[in-house]
Amino acid sequence: MLEAYVRGRSRPGRILLMTHIVVGYPSLEASLRVVETMVQAGVDLMELQIPFSEPIADGPVILRANAEALAAGSSVQRCLDFASAVTARFDVPFVFVAYYNTLVRFGIRNFVRDMAARGVRGAIVPDLPPEEGEEYLAAMKEAGVEPILLFAPTSTADRLRYLASHARGFVYGLSRRGVTGAETSFSTDLEQDLARYRAATPLPLAVGFGVKDRKDVDFLIGKADIAIVGSHALRVIDEQGVEAVGPFVKSLRA
């Protein structure tokens, strides 16, 4: 279980790191090298995003990565095969990030079954509220994999508790409104949002959207269990190449 894994690795004064790749960007071979480099550098969990043509929760960095991965031939089946390779090779949990249309086109129960069979431990579906996800949530429960739901600063206390009632593994707390990759103010306002998230669920709390450096990660220590670094890791790849990923990940804790 993801919850047990997170709690087992948690220590006072330490926060877990979860990084993000778009499978097939800049190529499948490069994606494998990025995973290897990130794991060797000490990440605790990883998100594998299945490319989609309209990733509405994502900003320009991840949007472009999705488009280029699709243009290079990345597909759901290739992402599933990629997941088989990395879960067999690396001893950290992997979760899928996928938009709901991908699941519907593939077949929701087929997707969840195949995901579980390939060792993926959970999924984040950013555009699927629980009210519309009955089949997905049932399939996830049957397969023994975990739906990771999103908490937003705009959500009321009642809404957060409702989301928490359907979540398993951990919850993904958004540091701000908007899409991935934009600037985030790590400040008192965010502290208040994180306290609200904590109050809504006993599950571990992951925080993403705008985490980019050691200072941001340090801010979250004691306030969250997992810091999620997504867009900025892709920027490092874009600007400096795959070989820069290891030093970047290490710098988040150095």
Place of tokens 């877990």: 16
Over its C-alpha atoms, the chain yields an Rg (Å, rounded) of 17
Looking at the predicted structure, is the pLDDT value of residue 142 above 90? yes
User: Which residues lie closer than 8 Å to 52 by C-beta, 6 or more apart?
Assistant: 66, 70, 98, 99, 101, 102
Are 171 and 197 spatial neighbours (Cβ–Cβ below 8 Å)?
yes
What percent of the chain has a predicted confidence (pLDDT) above 90? 82
SS3 209: coil
pLDDT tens profile 158-204: 999 999 999 999 999 998 544 443 444 555 678 899 999 999 999 99
Q: Which domains does the chain have, with CATH numbers?
A: 16-149+210-251 (3.20.20.70)
Q: pLDDT at position 179, please?
A: 42
239 exposed, middle or buried (CB, 10 Å; 0-12, 13-18, 19+)? exposed
Looking at the predicted structure, is the pLDDT value of residue 25 above 50? yes
pLDDT tens profile 215-253: 999 999 999 999 999 888 999 998 999 999 999 999 998
| Phi, psi angle pair for 147, to nearest 5° | -80, 120
Looking at the predicted structure, is the pLDDT value of residue 209 above 90? no
Are 29 and 1 spatial neighbours (Cβ–Cβ below 8 Å)?
no
As annotated, the active-site residues are 47, 58
Place of tokens 């340090």: 218
154 exposed, middle or buried (CB, 10 Å; 0-12, 13-18, 19+)? exposed
Q: Which of 30-39, 151-160, 186-195 has the least mean pLDDT?
A: 186-195
Mean pLDDT over 210-219 rounds to: 91
The full length of the chain comes to 254
Q: Which helix (H) or strand (E) holds 106?
A: helix 100-106
